[in-house]
Structure 1
Amino acid sequence: MTSNKDVYASGAPQDGTDLRRRNGPGRHNGAITPSKEEIDDKKLQKPKSPSPSILSTLDEYEFLAAPLIFTLLAFFTRMYKIGLSDIVTWDEAHFGKFGSHYLKREFYFDVHPPLGKMLVGLSGLLAGYNGSFEFKSGEKYPEELNYTFMRLFNSAFGAVCVPLAYFTAKEMNFRRSTVWLVTMAVLFENSYATISRFILLDSMLLCFTFTTVLCWARFHRLRDQSFSIEWFIWLFLCGISIGCVCSVKWVGMFGTALVGFYTIEDLWNKFGDVKMPKVELGQHLVARVVGLIVLPLLVYMFSFWVHFLVLENSGPGDAQMSSLFQANLKGTDVGKDSPLEVAYGSRATLKNMGYGGGLLHSHVQTYPEGSQQQQVTCYHHKDANNDWFFYPNRSMPLYDQEQPVSYVGDGHVIRMIHSQTGRNLHSHAVSAPVTKGDNEVSSYGNTTIGDDKDHWTIEIVDDAASRDWSKIRTLTTSFRLKHTSLGCYLRAGNVNLPQWGFKQIEVTCVKENQPRDVYTHWNVESHWNERLPAGDPGSYKSPFLRDFMHLNVAMMTSNNALVPDPDKQDDLASQFWQWPILNVGLRMCGWDNNIVKYFLLGNPIVYWGSTLSLGVFGAMTAWYLVRGQRGYDELKPAEIDQIHYAGLYPVVGWFLHYLPFVAMARVTYVHHYYPALYFAILTMGFVVDWMTRPLARKDKRIEWAVYGLLYVLVIGLFVLFRAIVFGMEGDNKQWRHLKWFEKWRITD
């Protein structure tokens, strides 16, 4: 007898009937075989893929969603309650005023290049502002001035920094979690958010610094695609960005130096590649010169060209420019109705033709040492103490208005008499107060008392309007004044006197005869003489390149003169060592309970974490160098490349932006650290990314726990200190919980 088990095992039916007939159509040996109808039905049905989860969708589209979300948050943190305070806050008093000059088209002078201030002027133009407000510090904005729009325009540059940081971190080959950390560090950096909310240059400076780093990082990633269209695009974008950042503030030149170091290293490596054809090496060199030197210089010069084009009217900065430049401004008094040729008895102002030169000046104050005679300086502001008379020397007859007019010319020995004090321009064998190798120049005696040390010989150097050098002409003639007795030449370099000389430019008598030294060249700027007919000396144009150089040297000179005054205390100033450790903040306005207050202070975890990362990177680099020297070969070429370009270069960028403020003598404030802070943040991103890679390989959950803690700290501290960003209203005492250190003067 056969069991059921044997039957199912053999696949035979118990009753002997045919299995196919027994099981019906589509069944064979216990398996289901689809019928023709079933097959046709299945052909009509599309296969269903498993529905994707929300997390997998977000993961797939992170490259779109993340930068969009970060950008929206950036605009919120930079623009929320931006119009709350209706008073001129901190340096809005300066840069708002400069914007007004563009709207009124009045020439002004400042130590910074013009691009950022032109953008401020553009914001005012778009806001319908007419340039009439004076932007006095602490003054309330008038109703007709849409200061909120001007601030919004400015804050957009600060907001754009956040997506720029995101894409830069991606180009540096950081993992996604690190990319988010770097972006959040920029997004929730309180000082970045605060300073972006006002009419200042710093958000523009940061924006173009960020674009420069992004373009450099992308260009480096394309190093294996040399001379491709994309390679050229990013090379030229980097050059344009360098030109823009340098056109906002000269601090941008430190970022230029970083790209310069990279370029030198890149070309040096290519030079060492013996397989590379020399023609290709030459092409690389030419491409770098055009893209990273010529193009930035053209952008920088173009900003000045527009600056000169817009500011066509006479304004408060005229005296910093050459006489010919001033004479071509609308509404100027320089050269207007001035007699063309200078005669004895003429009253005139003498302009130094060196770059940044001022007007020959004297005042009743005396030198505290040396001869202790009346001071002679160079001064950029126009006043009556700049006026001098051309007089005959002591061997000639006294000047007599009744006598025929006698013109001053080449080779004449003259006296220059100060109009306000009646003293003679004088020099003697006494060392100058600052430049000890030169002779002191002073004002001495009067029209009757004096000696031959009051005599100066005129040496004409050039004339922009005539080949006839026999006479001195207003504006167009450049000449030197040689001391007849000592043989030295009247000179005004870019050396500033101490406080006792009011920080004005030192005037000396230089012993070396250097005809090409433009600081020994002078011209007559303004000229008055009732006995002479009016001329039109301002009909000659001043060349752009000369004006460009002249203004840049003047900016450099004035910037170097911004040194701390030992007799005054600047409560807003700070020292370089205080910035990386967040030792100090800055009050941006008055601290009364009835006004909205803003305190410039960074996010503690961002500052301390980024500063700590600089030290950690140094220790990590030393560790790998020592191990490499001992024969340990633990780093792959790709890892070495990552340390080099994503770690070392941000550290170099930090040093380039930080160390100059250690060395410079000028007064410094906390916002001077902000470009350097960005490179410290990138360094922090690299260090965290590198240190957490073992965790990522071991357990992703541990890695995300570490990053999650960092995210919470960055966001949490921003929220805790949000009031210093969005504005502190009411009694100062309610913010005492934010005063962690004595230097954080938030409450008192």
Structure 2
Amino acid sequence: MDFLSKKPLIKAEKNWAGTSSKNDASHAARGEAAVDWPLWILTVLSAVTRFWRLGYPNVVVFDELFYSRFVHMYVNGIFFFDSNPPFAKQLIAGAAYLANYSAQNETFAKIGDAYSPETPIWVLRFIPCLFGTLLVPLSYCIVRNLGYSQLAATISGVCFLLDGALITGSRFVMTDSVNLALLLSSLFCILRFVQSRPLSGSSVLWGLLVGLFMGLAISTKYVSFPSLLWFTWIIFRHYWKVLDDLSISAKRLVEYFIYCVLIVIFVPVAVYVGSFLIHLTVITKAGPYDTMMSTRFQASLEGGLAAISRGQPYNVAYGSQITLRNHAGVQDNACWLHSHKEVYPLRYDDGRGSSHQQQVTCYSFKDVNNWWIIKHPNKTILEVESPPEHVRDGAVVQLVHGVTGRLLNSHDVAAPISPECQEVSCYIDYNITMPAEELWEVKIINQEAEDRYWHAIQTNVQLIHVNSKTTLSISGQQLPPWAFNQFEVVSSVQLSKFTLSLWTVEEHRYSTAHSGQKEREAALLKDEFIPDKATDLSLWKKFWELQWSMLGLSRDTVEEHVYGSKPFDWIMNDNGVAFWAQKGSNRQIYQLGNVVVWHTGACALLVTVVALSLVVLVRMRFPEIFPNHHIQWIRVCFAAEVALGGFVVNWLPYFFTDRTLFFHHYYPALGFKFLLLGGFMGEIMDLCRNKEYLAKTVQALVAVWIMSVIYTFVRFVPITYGFDELSASELHGLEWRESWNFIIRNS
């Protein structure tokens, strides 16, 4: 077997991608074995390095703190909210369901908490581990399909095989290995697609697989998006080249274009939407994360708000008792319009004076002080009349605080934290020249119903202060301890343009006559509803609401984190991540890349960029040196487009990202870097192929490099797997860079 053979693993009718190819006859003539032994050996070793003692440790490791909880909620049909799509979690939950993982109460408080004895830990970690195993054979096949030898493909395979960061990321209940494997699967199918004759049977098959894997990748993690854009570019660049083929009719070219659009846009979108529809069909019960969603969404879930809102009156009327939830919420939590008997301090810390009126805040918990009564401004009664007088769009109302009986008020006094806005209070008559300004106009926003009445759950409203024409809003600012660290409510013109000014009636009941304030307060505390029917919200509406909520969360800036890192740190493996440390010992799992692999890859990146730049400049002056039709030049251009381009689009955008970044954001770029390294070594070996001395020298250097990779992998095995405890001095000996912060206990 010729270990340096350049033949791709596929049989192409024509070399549509422009990479080097040989036919099967010449392949057999060279005596190459039908079985690709390097591929099989690498695959077996990959399984060993990933699955070896997979159930260890039997405690929560790093982000298993969240993902194990999500899986448990999935299996039990409980709604949860995550900033990434659900596909990988669905796979893990499916395996867990088959293993009867449902009854365990997995409510972990911190990393290191033990799983219950009945938890099938091996099953929970199986799916990420399986996809982590597939990274090695996929990388090998991709490099072979780019036209490089088995040795070049083996180099890429070894990078994936013995990289400690990828091994660690594959052995626990996380989704990064699943995402990277799906991206590599997409790329492999793209190579098969572009090397097939347009619209042939193999072209149609591989094209559909391209769309499927692209859809599954973006349905797993949003960090896939740059890769998918690049894959789309590769396919349409391929189509542009196919236009030169005069053997293909114009009609077939149009059909091929439509098919390319189908596989890179419509199929991935269909898969993405389908994953969410399955997601929303399965998780139908209320849970701790449903407060991230709107009142309507919560009311459609079984239990929770649904148990409160079912059976309550639909139309808001004068005399209605209501709770008002802010549409935007604060700090990813819901909050309700709230008041209590405490008043604003006479003077704030900055020396400004206040109205000394009763405080009005936004409170993130259910509380009796969240109840308000809608009052007609020209009537004194606080009960719903018979028949009820419903509140319409444009109606003027007063809001009476249910417990204290004071009216919601605003006036020309600066708010405590946001002085550019007006203060909101409940009015206390101090017999001074500050009259009450207690009238509010109801403005209905984006209501689906056409009757223009104010509805519970279904309607978003703005409350416009009649005197100042400002809008009742939250500012998002947290108040000091004198307001129990609740959130500021203001009246503002500027904030009226944002969802901070939208309110929804969440809980609603028609109040009955009470003889006094104490009786009304007692009624607010004890009244409950008996559920009679579910609130209807279609899957499609749930899908769109969930998309907007996830988008909003993804835009939020994450606070600084001890294991945060920067794009430049990723190139040379400057930072690692502590996944787990055993209490009282130095046994730990620390995510760290293989230094030899990462540094070699960084050098390959730099040399490739410099070399290609020089070649382009030389060809401008001497085009005959590298003619366009030269097979090696064609392969270099295509491989660089795939691997180098893929690295750049997955790495460069993070320099413009205003949020804390972590190592897992680098996974896609890392995969392309390892592919580039295999292609880079393949080109060097091909340049030396006809010079025996140089060829043997390069092969010897490759052998030394592989041995160095193996040595580095073995040195760091104790912290890659956490099986063995090292002494403090041994751990210090592994700190090859000052930025690697191992957890070292000297005792």
Instruction: Give me the TM-score of the superposition, normalised by structure 1.
Output: 0.81
1:96-118: per-residue Cα shift (whole Å, max 9, x none)? 00001011111111111111222
Structure 2 residue 442 is matched with structure 1 residue 458 = yes
Rounded to whole Å, the distance in 1 between the matches of 2:159 and 2:488 is 45
Structure 2 residue 633 is matched with structure 1 residue 640 = yes
Match of residue 262, structure 2, among 282, 287, 290: 290
1:15 maps to none
Match of residue 667, structure 2, among 647, 660, 674: 674
Moved more, 422-431 or 154-163: 422-431
Structure 2 residue 740 is matched with structure 1 residue 736 = no
- Matching of residues 126-205 of structure 1 within 5 Å: 126-130=98-102, 131-136=104-109, 137-205=111-179
1:218 maps to 192
Rounded to whole Å, the distance in 2 between the matches of 1:218 and 1:499 is 60
Give the number of equivalent residue pairs: 676
Shift of 1:651: 1.7
8 Å Cα contact 2:148/2:679 also seen in 1: yes
Shift of 1:732: 3.8
| Distance change >3 Å, CA 399–CA 744, structure 1 → 2 | same
- Counterpart of 1:122, as a letter, is G
Match of residue 458, structure 2, among 472, 476, 484: 476
Structure 2 residue 311 is matched with structure 1 residue 337 = yes
| Distance change >3 Å, CA 400–CA 490, structure 1 → 2 | closer
1:36 maps to none
Match of residue 440, structure 1, among 421, 434, 437: 421
1:698 maps to 691
SS in 2 for 1:589: strand
Rounded to whole Å, the distance in 1 between the matches of 2:141 and 2:640 is 16
Rounded to whole Å, the distance in 2 between the matches of 1:360 and 1:273 is 65
Structure 2 residue 295 is matched with structure 1 residue 314 = no
1:405-454: per-residue Cα shift (whole Å, max 9, x none)? 654332211244566886736486979989x9xx7365324365876765
Shift of 1:378: 7.5
Shift of 1:518: 7.5
Moved more, 609-618 or 683-692: 683-692
| Distance change >3 Å, CA 174–CA 415, structure 1 → 2 | farther
SS in 2 for 1:579: helix
Structure 2 residue 263 is matched with structure 1 residue 303 = no
| Distance change >3 Å, CA 741–CA 353, structure 1 → 2 | closer
- Counterpart of 1:216, as a letter, is I
1:73 maps to 45
SS in 1 for 2:625: coil
8 Å Cα contact 1:245/1:252 also seen in 2: yes
Shift of 1:302: 0.8
Shift of 1:491: 6.5
Match of residue 505, structure 2, among 524, 528, 553: 524
SS in 2 for 1:730: coil
8 Å Cα contact 2:236/2:260 also seen in 1: no
| Distance change >3 Å, CA 644–CA 341, structure 1 → 2 | same
1:251 maps to 223
Structure 2 residue 534 is matched with structure 1 residue 550 = no
SS in 2 for 1:157: helix
Shift of 1:232: 1.5
- Matching of residues 501-580 of structure 1 within 5 Å: 509-510=492-493, 522-531=503-512, 539-565=534-560, 570-580=561-571
1:456-482: per-residue Cα shift (whole Å, max 9, x none)? 312335655x6533x322223444433
- Counterpart of 1:117, as a letter, is K
SS in 1 for 2:153: helix
SS in 2 for 1:291: helix
SS in 1 for 2:741: coil
- Counterpart of 2:505, as a letter, is V
1:411 maps to 394
Structure 2 residue 356 is matched with structure 1 residue 383 = no
1:685 maps to 678
| Distance change >3 Å, CA 400–CA 327, structure 1 → 2 | closer
SS in 2 for 1:350: strand
- Matching of residues 108-119 of structure 1 within 5 Å: 108-119=80-91
Shift of 1:578: 1.3
SS in 2 for 1:713: helix
Shift of 1:284: 2.9
Match of residue 657, structure 1, among 638, 650, 665: 650
Rounded to whole Å, the distance in 2 between the matches of 1:174 and 1:398 is 86
Shift of 1:78: 0.5
Identical-pair percentage: 23
| Distance change >3 Å, CA 512–CA 668, structure 1 → 2 | closer
| Distance change >3 Å, CA 451–CA 121, structure 1 → 2 | farther
- Counterpart of 1:601, as a letter, is L
8 Å Cα contact 2:586/2:726 also seen in 1: no
SS in 1 for 2:139: helix
Shift of 1:593: 4.5
Rounded to whole Å, the distance in 2 between the matches of 1:659 and 1:555 is 23
Moved more, 628-637 or 496-505: 496-505
Moved more, 419-428 or 102-111: 419-428
Rounded to whole Å, the distance in 2 between the matches of 1:196 and 1:462 is 46
| Distance change >3 Å, CA 497–CA 375, structure 1 → 2 | farther
Rounded to whole Å, the distance in 2 between the matches of 1:101 and 1:414 is 43
Superposed CA RMSD in Å reads: 3.8
SS in 2 for 1:741: coil
Shift of 1:270: 5.6
Shift of 1:271: 6.5
Moved more, 130-139 or 579-588: 130-139
Rounded to whole Å, the distance in 2 between the matches of 1:615 and 1:385 is 64
Rounded to whole Å, the distance in 1 between the matches of 2:666 and 2:479 is 28
2:519 maps to none
| Distance change >3 Å, CA 120–CA 425, structure 1 → 2 | farther
Gaps spanning 5+ residues in structure 1: where? 1-55
Rounded to whole Å, the distance in 2 between the matches of 1:409 and 1:681 is 64
| Distance change >3 Å, CA 57–CA 691, structure 1 → 2 | closer
8 Å Cα contact 1:339/1:535 also seen in 2: no
Rounded to whole Å, the distance in 1 between the matches of 2:566 and 2:464 is 45
8 Å Cα contact 1:263/1:288 also seen in 2: yes
| Distance change >3 Å, CA 604–CA 253, structure 1 → 2 | same
8 Å Cα contact 1:219/1:234 also seen in 2: yes
Match of residue 378, structure 2, among 381, 390, 396: 396
Match of residue 711, structure 2, among 708, 712, 716: 716
8 Å Cα contact 2:319/2:511 also seen in 1: no
Moved more, 721-730 or 399-408: 399-408
1:127-171: per-residue Cα shift (whole Å, max 9, x none)? 322242223321112211121222233211110111111111111
8 Å Cα contact 1:85/1:595 also seen in 2: no
8 Å Cα contact 2:324/2:506 also seen in 1: yes
8 Å Cα contact 1:736/1:747 also seen in 2: no
Shift of 1:675: 1.7
8 Å Cα contact 2:325/2:337 also seen in 1: no
Larger Rg: 1
Rounded to whole Å, the distance in 1 between the matches of 2:349 and 2:137 is 57
Shift of 1:529: 3.9
| Distance change >3 Å, CA 561–CA 80, structure 1 → 2 | same
